[in-house]
Amino acid sequence: MSHAGELNPESDLVLVVGATGGVGQLTVGELLAQNIKVRVLSRSEDKARQMFADQVDIVVGDTREADTLPAAMPGVTHIISCTGSTAFPTARWEFRAASTRWEWFKRYARPSYCRAQADNSPEKVDAVGGQHLVDAAPQDLKRFLLVSACGIERKDKLPFSILNAFGVLDAKLVGETALRESGLPYTIVRPGRLIDGPYTSYDLNTLLKAKTESQLGIVVGTGDQLSGETSRIDLAAACVACLQNSHTEGKVFEIMSEGARPSTIDWNTLFSELI
């Protein structure tokens, strides 16, 4: 049964996971602009508090640690997950040992070795963390929206074969599959390369007023056919619009910023074209 309808400021509570990231911050901003109650799951209470002050409920948790997730779930009606790590090894992979040149050489030369040395690689965040989040979600959830990536079904084709050199698309596919097989009402959104933002040094008031800097329109499609760039601001708006739209339930779709921008984005018409 579809629960899609306007989000209710009185009774709905949206959990945003990855809220301190580029898309996550903008998603929280979009929800607050619509007066919707928001809870964020963050690895750092200080970081979340600095960004969102007391306008959201903050629960400290880490998707890699399943036992930290149930505390975030009471009363949650919708989940938006926009967690992620970098596609290629960076400090955000949280490597275990101190790096020597030899160590770096081995890591870049052997992706499997690289992943084994990292605590927060895409494998940990998108695959392990994604499964944990699905397992912890309330059974009566109205919608679980996962931000994934385009190219998952084209991993053997350029440029996605390069993007997937360290397994980011493999890991995202595991996360997508966990959600699709969960029985929860879901939507999976696959953006292209993200543009606009991430506004990491901006305060909440700026986020609430964030407007896309591009003059581009929005194109959506299914079957992993589209590629290109996606505005983080439009993506965040799309995530919130999806929760309120029945056409997007049980759908996996790509979203790109391209073409001429209309005066208003008609999400319902865009989503009604999804097959």
Ligand X SMILES: NC(=O)c1ccc[n+]([C@@H]2O[C@H](COP(=O)([O-])OP(=O)(O)OC[C@H]3O[C@@H](n4cnc5c(N)ncnc54)[C@H](OP(=O)(O)O)[C@@H]3O)[C@@H](O)[C@H]2O)c1
CB nearer to ligand X: give 83 or 244.
83
Among 20, 117, 187, 231, binds ligand X (CB under 6 A): 20
Amino acid residing at 9 = P
Strands (DSSP E) contained in the chain are 13-17, 37-42, 57-60, 78-81, 143-147, 186-191, 193-195, 216-221, 229-231, 251-260
CB of 44 to ligand X, least distance (A): 6
Contact 219, 192 (CB under 8 A): no
One-character DSSP codes across 73-120: -TT--EEEE-----SS--GGG-BSSPP-HHHHHHHHH-HHHHHHHBSS
The residue number with the shortest CB distance to ligand X is 21
What is the distance between the alpha carbons of residues 79 and 49, in angstroms, rounded to a whole number? 20
ω before 198 within 30° of 0 (cis)? yes
One-character DSSP codes across 199-218: -TT--HHHHHT---SS-EEE
84 part of the interface to ligand X, by CB under 6 A? yes
167 part of the interface to ligand X, by CB under 6 A? no
129 part of the interface to ligand X, by CB under 6 A? yes
Among 15, 82, 118, 238, binds ligand X (CB under 6 A): 82
21 part of the interface to ligand X, by CB under 6 A? yes
49 part of the interface to ligand X, by CB under 6 A? no
Of 246, 242, 268, 274, the C-alpha closest to 2 is 246
89 part of the interface to ligand X, by CB under 6 A? no
191 part of the interface to ligand X, by CB under 6 A? yes
Among 12, 18, 186, 210, binds ligand X (CB under 6 A): 18
51 part of the interface to ligand X, by CB under 6 A? no
Give the three-state DSSP class for 182: coil
CB nearer to ligand X: give 94 or 266.
94
CB nearer to ligand X: give 141 or 146.
146
CB nearer to ligand X: give 83 or 248.
83
24 part of the interface to ligand X, by CB under 6 A? yes
134 part of the interface to ligand X, by CB under 6 A? no
What is the distance between the alpha carbons of residues 253 and 223, in angstroms, rounded to a whole number? 7
Please report, as ranges, the residues that interact with ligand X according to CB under 6 A. Answer: 18-24, 42-44, 47, 62-64, 82-85, 120, 125, 129, 147, 149, 191, 193-194, 198
